[in-house]
Structure 1
């Protein structure tokens, strides 16, 4: 017995289809040439990716994932820190202060030089990051602003403006940044062993 069929099947394929296939082959060849030209070309076969290409693609994907969300401000080094602080100052002075901070009092302090208080920078930056996420209906729906007020803004303002917060030593006319610094504590590590 033979493995081949007795009769070849009739293929009723329109002539236009063959032309379309040939056009697709030509377009694929052009695109392949263009890709090789733009990427500097490589010796990998058509449709095959070299190990270097895969490693570069993985590295690029990791970099994209790494910067998908803004980093916490205290983890940044200059000039990224300075840029982030400028943007934070714009938001605090343009949105937070006029919209949420009434006249300071003994029970609700505020320092006009808040950006010189590291604790204030850290807390306000966290509130700002949450605000960016939670005020966009596309990402969090219409309940985002309520969640932002309840979970982020209100607790942060209680901590910042409270009697033991970073502005505790600041009054309306006086700014004091070193009031929160603890006194130096002798350390066993710094004492000379005899």
Structure 2
């Protein structure tokens, strides 16, 4: 036969290589089936896509890019206008009085001031809002792993509380003369701090 080569080349192939190739073929077939299931492409060959799906994917990609451009990180609370400011402040008050005050702030003193009308101090609102945003991110194991809470305490809570309660902090005037207001710890507010059994 003229079509067959005269000599078969001798290949030194390791014995386990054929098993590896078969394993790879099985994995590729499995992944191909999974991709078809996920994309709904039952009839297409691997690597092929219908024009409709390609157009839809292009449209979805453009839509996704537009969504990403529209979506923004939470804004600085002092830059918000009503009603967004009011909504954000209400949520912040719930967190501060439900989690921060009962969990972290001891009874106020001359060396550790606190104003129960803290939300009337723009500096306190700004600092506590930043601390709260960090808390939301750093207490979720899906976004921060297991070291997030420690990072939140060290990098966010401790500096925030230190600045707010400092002798020259935003609550300084709350303990002097006519600016004095009654300092108190707010009552317990149902929150993430206390888990009530149902």
Superposition TM-score, scaled by structure 2 size: 0.58
2:106 maps to which residue? 102
1:161 maps to which residue? 165
Alignment RMSD, CA only? 2.8
Higher RCO (C-alpha 8 Å, min separation 6): 2
Contact 1:134–1:148 at 8 Å: present in 2 too?
A: yes
- 2: distance between equivalents of 1:125 and 1:57? 29
Runs of at least 4 residues off by over 6 Å: none
Cα drift, residue 74 of structure 1: 1.4
Contact 1:169–1:175 at 8 Å: present in 2 too?
A: no
1:76-115 residue pairs with structure 2 within 5 A? 76-115=80-119
**3-state SS in 1 of match to 2:174:** coil
**What are structure 1's unaligned runs of at least 5 residues?**
1-22, 26-31, 33-44, 177-194
Structure 1 residues 143, 171: CA separation in 2 closer, same or farther (over 3 Å shift)? same
Cα drift, residue 136 of structure 1: 1.1
The count of aligned residue pairs is: 132
- 1: distance between equivalents of 2:98 and 2:53? 53
- 1: distance between equivalents of 2:96 and 2:90? 10
Corresponding position: 1:126 with 2:130? yes
Superposition TM-score, scaled by structure 1 size: 0.59
1:45-91 deviation line (CA, Å, top 9, x unaligned): 856759xx68665433311xx33x32221121111111100000000
Structure 1 residues 49, 90: CA separation in 2 closer, same or farther (over 3 Å shift)? same
Contact 1:107–1:163 at 8 Å: present in 2 too?
A: yes
**3-state SS in 1 of match to 2:169:** coil
